[in-house]
Structure 1
Amino acid sequence: MLTFKELGLEDRLLTAITDMGFTKPSEIQEKAIPILLEKDKDLVALAQTGTGKTAAFGFPLLQKIDPAKKSVQGLILSPTRELCLQITQELALYGAHMPGINTVAVYGGASITDQASKLRKGAQIVVATPGRIKDMISRRLIDISSIRYCILDEADEMLNMGFLDDIKDILSNTPSERHTWLFSATMPKEVAQIAKQFMRKPDEITVGSKNTGSVNVNHEYYVVSGNNRYKALKRLADANPEIFSVIFCRTKRDTQRIAEKLIEDGYNAGALHGDLSQNQRDIVMKSFRNRQIQMLVATDVAARGIDVDDITHVINYQLPDETETYTHRSGRTGRAGKSGISMVIITKSEIRKIRSIERIIKKEFERKDIPGPEEICEIQLYHLSDKIRNTKIDKNIEPYLPAVNDVLEGIDREELIRKLVTVEFSRFASYYKDTDNLNASGDERVSGGNESVRYFINVGARDGYDWKTLKDFLRVQLNLERDEVFKVEVKDSFSFFSSEPSVKQQILDTFSEFKLDGRFINVEISEPTGRGGGGKKGKKGRKSRERFDGNQKFGHKGKRGKQSAKNKNKRKQR
């Protein structure tokens, strides 16, 4: 292991490193810094979140900046406002003994006039989000036509957020002789495309393997029925009293709903999603960093750029669609050499997704059971005992002790302990009394096949549906989680979908007399054909298909509606 001095950093940076308490470089720093200092090169560096990437490009960039020139020499693009500010703050610490170097953060949600004013005073390094820097370029508030270095930090995150075209536009405004340093946790094809189009024979370094998860993170999954997902989340929280976690949901709506339910149930929780104002986001993040919030419920987009130390758990309330997104989620824990746990709450139909993620991140998931009431009570009692033992006595309680002693007079030590323990035990025992076992039964190799129920519905592509919009329609009408409806297959005038057996009656009851714009929407159990996705309907199913013919689009009575009526008249004549 090399020292920071042996990497080639100058004394002013080494002094700052000592001030910050860094003792030895991380693997990504040891690999990247000598390459970037030795010569001007393009570089692609792949490493997980939390491995020290900011210092890996920050130290070389500061050493290469000329403080005598007040023009922009280095541009750092990052996906979110939070990460933008974090990088700016870290560069200020790294360059604490390098007077004359000025770094300015440029991001949305703040005054563009104030940011332009700071730039006019002279900034050698600009840290920016793609949307805001593009806006400033178009308004001619910033000139990046002579920059020497462009750093794309969390490149895969930026592309996941839809910034590909913005990044291309920004890079097209930079000189062709500039040098590009691309740092990313994963290497999807879009990142490879950027590297191919805008970089010249880049060196490539990898910490770990491409698209793999952090070695410090253990991956666990819990299989429950879809309607027990929230109950499972609460039990996992109760079984980990010291939890300090990020809980990921797919949508803003689910994020807000789960956070509100947790708060109602007495947990220190908060929501982070795109519908919050910037001030609200700042308040939530400040509370989370100060540990006033133990469970931060977030969407993937809102959570990007979060850099909070000592997160113990990442909980995937719902699995993401992309494996790269899971890699980023799990990378929020197990940082800076510490261990962490990534938990996934799934239904049986999603086990196949776990196997797919395992193959890509090259790490095995451990299937675990949701803790039962007895186990949770035991954990909580041990936690209470440990908390009492390690609590420092507050001198401010002294004036109240005589009155407390009077109340407790005559109770010996053992009885007092029993009473204290009973208070805590009774709370959890009462809450969990007569509760069900939440763990889904059955062989985990079954992945929504023989164990699932297949349905026929008399709407299809002619009604304007594809698999995604039909899935959303069913989910809303049935008030189910997104993953409780799966294997949606849309045909021309009808469709098929599957669900867990536990919600079969709910689905049939909902659609027993269901009308939309005066039209009956018919759902029936489909008999399996053994030919894959579809199914074979009984007599009633065929009759329903003829009756509606799949031609009348919801809320419309145009040509298709007339054709449907014409078909109906023909059947009457028969």
Structure 2
Amino acid sequence: MNKFEQLGLNEQLLDAIREMGFESPSEVQEKAIPVLLEQHTDMVALAQTGTGKTAAFGFPLIQKIDTFNNTTQGLILSPTRELCLQIAQELKNYSKFVNNLRVVAIYGGASISEQAREVRRGAHIIVATPGRMQDMINRNMVDISNIDVCVLDEADEMLNMGFYEDISSILSHTPREKATWLFSATMPKEVAAIAKKFMSSPLEVTVGTKNSSSKNVQHEYYTVSGRDRYLALKRLADANPDIFSVIFCRTKRDTQSVAEKLIEDGYSAAALHGDLSQNQRDLVMKSFRTRQIQMLVATDVAARGIDVDDITHVINYQLPDEIETYTHRSGRTGRAGKSGVSMVIITRSESRKIGAIERIIKTKFEAKQIPNAEEICEIQLYHLASKIKETEINDEVENFLPAIQDVLEGIDRENLIKKMVSVEFSRFANYYRNAKDLNAQATGGQRDRNSRPDELPTDGDVRYFINVGEKDGYDWKTLKDFLKETLSLGRDDVFKVDVKESFSFFNTEATHTEAVLNMFSQFKMDGRFINVEISKNTGRRGNGGGGRRRDGRRNDSNRRGDSRNSNRRNDSGKNFSKGKSKRSNRR
């Protein structure tokens, strides 16, 4: 039996659930749906972004609608146009088998007269942004005086955006006996105040703890000089070749500036902020969802409409002004049961904010260091080798093989491999040659980088390479669990686990090195040898979020994963005249 069948949903909704492939409800759905179906009550539901809040209020709201009554019976307020449209579409998907139920989206940036016509044709549920809704109320274009349910979605974000007065005014046009359902990721005092003012003895549903972080998200911070913030961002990207990320900036100006720099330096990036036209924003989001863009640079407000489950990293280029906003940002990754990483780039003067965020999200950050040139080149080299191994052979190459073999005649296998790898690897090596250390704080106790496997380190921690990664079904959580179980180590004995597409890195204390190497000397899993070696990459410089290796195809629109890099700059800000690090996005 599908667990949704136990929540009290009717057959029309269950049919839609089956068609959409939902197997079991999330925690917030399991807690909220039965109560909202059985009772006419106010509710405050606290749950992180990506935990299924839309379905938690959407299913019971749809089931409560009387489709034979053409009046507006449900109102949902959401902070942004993107989220408004997203909610409206999801409600239409949920109600696919409910005859004659009509959902209308009301938002800025579109014709208000056309939206008014849609409402007049009949709107059982209106999904609206507060500003446009208030405008239509003032023009007598909508009637919400008979609604049964009002949903305040992303309530904390609406209040952060300054919609308190609009929300208060809108709610004043609704009946007192309606049910109000407030859904929020955090519970700052402003949300508590609106709940107290407009709700009557609301039931409270909390997933996790208030303002807490998802357990699927690993939190890291990197301390750099303010002038090196952008260079640090590029290094974090280059350290993981398969990044699919959202980069948060505080202002629209910074968002546009960082995106333009990334594009100029050859990254597959784009900006998302309020100064873009609606058509531009739609194009950017379409490109991001289809992974033509790997690095989306966004403001907090614009990012409210992002609903993508596979984001691998959130990078806080700057910390938000409101500490609670960090919860919204980090909630963009680690969704739908997958793991993710939230990175923060800070200066020394901002270090105290990390402690404040830890107290709010009830999760510890890991202090990491920006990768250096050697570490990035090592990661990129392994990644290139793995890509070559996994690439499917194009049969059309057969026609050209005789000529190619003539060109390569006289080169033995070993030298041929070296030359092939050097074509791409040299670009990174040249780019990062003589690159400076970006870390604002040095860490002591670093072992000799040239230590040989037969001279095992005796103190500090040791970084290892292992030949399994994402394609083998691992993420940082599952690989860490596998290593702890296999090596019979404690919970904190395996750390700095960084999983790439087909290989990974991890650390242990030096005292465990001999046991680690012995365990994996002849270790087989599913008939395959699992190799572990000591890496030159110590891991003390962190392994941030995965840059792109571009595929070499130029696209002048800058919206595809391309290899535009004619203006690539080195860490000192000077142009390279030779060996430019032209890199290929592989998404």
Q: Report TM bin, short chain.
A: 0.7 to 0.9
Q: CA deviation at 1:303?
A: 1.2
User: Which digits, 9 at most, give the CA deviation of each residue in 1:141-181, with x for residues without a partner?
Assistant: 11111111000000001000110000000000101111100
Where do residues 445-524 of structure 1 align in structure 2 (5 Å cutoff)?
none
TM-score where L is the length of structure 1? 0.76
Deviations for 1:253-285, whole angstroms, at most 9, x for unmatched residues?
111111111111110010111111111111111
1:411 is displaced (CA, Å) by 3.2
Give the 3-state SS of the residue equivalent to 2:422 in structure 1: helix
- Mark the CA change 1:442 to 1:389 in structure 2 (over 3 Å): closer, same or farther: closer
Counterpart position of 2:286 = 286
Amino acid at match of 1:15: D
Which SS does the other structure have where 1:204 is aligned? strand
Deviation per CA, 1:29-68: give whole Å up to 9, x if none. Answer: 0000010011111110000000000000011011110111
Matched residue count: 444
Question: Which residue does 1:225 correspond to in 2?
Answer: 225
What is the CA–CA distance in structure 1 between the aligned matches of 2:138 and 2:374, rounded to whole Å? 63
1:11 correspondence with 2:36: no
CA displacement at 1:392 relative to structure 2: 2.5
Is 1:97 matched up with 2:97? yes
Opposite residue 220 of structure 2, the aligned amino acid is E
Q: Distance in 2 between matches of 1:303 and 1:57?
A: 21
The residue aligned with 1:176 is 176
**1:401 Cα deviation after fit:** 4.2
| Residue identity in the other structure for 1:306 | I
**What does residue range 298-317 of structure 1 map to in structure 2 within 5 Å?**
298-317=298-317
**Displacement after TM superposition at 1:227 (Å):** 1.0
Q: Does structure 1 conserve the Cα–Cα contact (< 8 Å) formed by 2:246 and 2:297?
A: yes
Q: Which residue of 1 aligns with 2:373?
A: 373
After superposition, the Cα gap between the structure-2 partners of 1:120 and 1:396, relative to the gap in structure 1 and judged at 3 Å, is: farther
Residue of structure 2 in register with 1:257 after alignment: 257
The residue matched to 2:279 in structure 1 has which SS? helix
> SS at 2:211's partner residue?
coil
2:583 maps to what in 1?
none
Distance 1:396 1:180 in 2: 62
2:20 is matched with 20
Match of 2:111 in 1: 111
Code of the aligned partner of 1:192: A
Q: 1:427 and 2:436 equivalent? A: no
Could you tell me whether the CA contact under 8 Å between 1:309 and 1:335 is conserved in 2?
A: yes
**Distance 1:142-1:422 versus aligned 2 partners, 3 A rule:** same
**Deviation at residue 22 of structure 1 after TM alignment:** 0.7
- The Cα offsets for residues 488-512 of structure 1, whole Å up to 9 and x where unpaired, read as xxxxxxxxxxxxxxxxxxxxxxxxx
1:142 paired to 2:142: yes
SS of residue matched to 2:33 = helix
Rounded Cα–Cα distance in structure 2 between residues aligned with 1:443 and 1:388: 36
The corresponding residue for 1:129 is: 129
2:340 aligned with 1:340, yes or no? yes
Find the aligned partners of 1:406 and 1:57 in 2 and give their Cα distance.
67
SS at match of 1:4: helix
Aligned partner of residue 360 in structure 2, secondary structure = helix
Contact preservation (8 Å) 1:217, 1:339: yes
CA distance in 1, matches of 2:116, 2:397: 54
Q: More displaced, 400-409 or 259-268?
A: 400-409
Separation of aligned partners in 2, 1:336 and 1:30 = 15
Q: Please report how far the alpha carbon of residue 363 of structure 1 lies from its aligned counterpart in structure 2 after TM superposition.
A: 0.3
Q: Secondary structure at the match of 1:71?
A: coil
Matches within 5 A, 1:235-254: 235-254=235-254
Aligned CA distance change for structure 1 residues 109 and 363 (closer, same or farther; 3 Å): same
Change (3 A) 1:335 1:13: same
Cα deviation per residue 1:76-127 (whole Å; 9 max; x = unaligned)?
Answer: 1111111111111111111111111011111101111111111111110111
Instruction: For residue 305 of structure 1, report the CA deviation from its aligned partner.
Output: 2.2
| Change in 2 beyond 3 A, CA 1:405/1:116 | farther
* Alpha-carbon separation, structure 2, partners of 1:406 and 1:126: 69
> Do the aligned partners of 2:2 and 2:23 also contact (CA within 8 Å) in 1?
no
Residue of structure 2 in register with 1:559 after alignment: none
Greater relative CO (CA pairs within 8 A, separation 6+): 2
- Partners of 1:23 and 1:318 in 2: how far apart? 38
- The Cα shift of 1:219 comes to 0.4
Whether contact under 8 Å (1:222, 1:369) holds in the other structure is yes
Whole-Å separation in 2 of the counterparts to 1:409 and 1:85:
60
Distance 2:121 2:433 in 1: 66
* C-alpha distance in 2 between matches for 1:237 and 1:46: 32
- Cα distance in 2 for residues equivalent to 1:192 and 1:2: 35
Q: How far apart are 1:15 and its partner, in Å?
A: 1.1
1:288–1:294 CA contact under 8 A, matched in 2: yes
Q: Does 1:49 align with 2:49?
A: yes
Cα shift readout 1:522-570 (whole Å, capped 9, x = no counterpart): xxxxxxxxxxxxxxxxxxxxxxxxxxxxxxxxxxxxxxxxxxxxxxxxx
Match of 2:35 in 1: 35
What is the alpha-carbon distance in structure 2 between the residues aligned to residue 86 and residue 400 of structure 1? 49
Matched, 1:201 2:201: yes
- Percent identity reads 72
Q: CA deviation at 1:409?
A: 3.6
How many Å separate the matches in 1 of 2:396 and 2:88? 42
Q: 1: distance between equivalents of 2:260 and 2:224?
A: 22
Q: Which moved more, 1:411-420 or 1:341-350?
A: 411-420
Q: Is 1:76 aligned to 2:76, yes or no?
A: yes
Change (3 A) 1:167 1:441: same
- 1:96 and 1:83 map into 2 onto residues whose CA distance is 20
1:395 shift after superposition: 4.2
Where 2:4 maps in the other structure, the secondary structure is coil
What's the CA shift string for 1:467-490, capped at 9, x where partnerless? xxxxxxxxxxxxxxxxxxxxxxxx
**Does the CA-based 8 Å contact 1:224-1:346 persist in structure 2?**
yes
**Bigger shift: 416-425 or 153-162?**
416-425
CA contact (8 A) 1:370 1:438 kept: yes
Bigger Rg, which one: 1
- Residue 399 of structure 1 and its aligned partner are, at CA, apart by 4.4
Per-residue CA distance 1:205-251 (angstroms, 9 max, x = gap): 10011111111111000011111111110000000110000111111
Distance 1:442 1:410, change over 3 A: closer
Tell me, in whole angstroms, the C-alpha distance in 2 between the residues paired with 1:25 and 1:84: 23
1:561 corresponds to which residue? Answer: none
Shift of 1:321: 1.6
Tell me how far 1:26 sits from its aligned partner.
0.4
| Structure-2 change in CA distance of 1:426 and 1:12 (3 Å) | same
Given that 1:2 and 1:30 are in contact with CA atoms closer than 8 Å, whether structure 2 keeps it comes out as: no
Tell me the equivalent position of 1:266.
266
Change (3 A) 1:333 1:278: same
Q: C-alpha distance in 1, partners of 2:394/2:87?
A: 39
Q: What CA distance in whole angstroms lies between the structure 2 residues aligned with 1:62 and 1:373?
A: 55
Distance 1:419 1:101, change over 3 A: same
Q: In structure 2, how many angstroms separate the alpha carbons of the residues matched to 1:88 and 1:279?
A: 19
CA spacing shift, 1:119–1:398, aligned 2, 3 Å: farther
CA contact (8 A) 1:153 1:183 kept: yes
> Once the 2 structures are TM-superposed, how far is the Cα of residue 406 of structure 1 from its aligned partner?
3.7
Cα RMSD over matched residues?
1.5
Give the 3 Å change call, closer, same or farther, for CA 42–238 of structure 1 in structure 2.
same
**Are 2:150 and 1:167 aligned?**
no
What is the alpha-carbon distance in structure 2 between the residues aligned to residue 402 and residue 99 of structure 1? 65
- Kindly provide the amino acid, as one letter, of the partner of residue 417 in structure 2: I
1:13-34 deviation line (CA, Å, top 9, x unaligned):
1111111111111000000001
Distance 2:130 2:397 in 1: 54
**Structure 2 vs 1, CA of residues 104 and 399 (structure 1 numbering), >3 Å: closer, same or farther?**
farther
User: Kindly tell me: are residues 2 and 413 of structure 1, through their superposed partners in 2, closer, same or farther at Cα, counting changes over 3 Å?
Assistant: same
Partner Cα separation in structure 2 for residue 424 and residue 160 of structure 1? 46
2:156 aligned residue: 156
Partner of 1:300: helix, strand, or coil?
A: coil
**Kept in 2: contact 1:2–1:25 (CA 8 A):** no
Instruction: Tell me the distance in 2 between the aligned counterparts of 1:63 and 1:346.
Output: 47
- Judged with a 3 Å threshold, the aligned counterparts in structure 2 of structure 1 residues 205 and 437 are, in CA distance, closer, same or farther, namely same
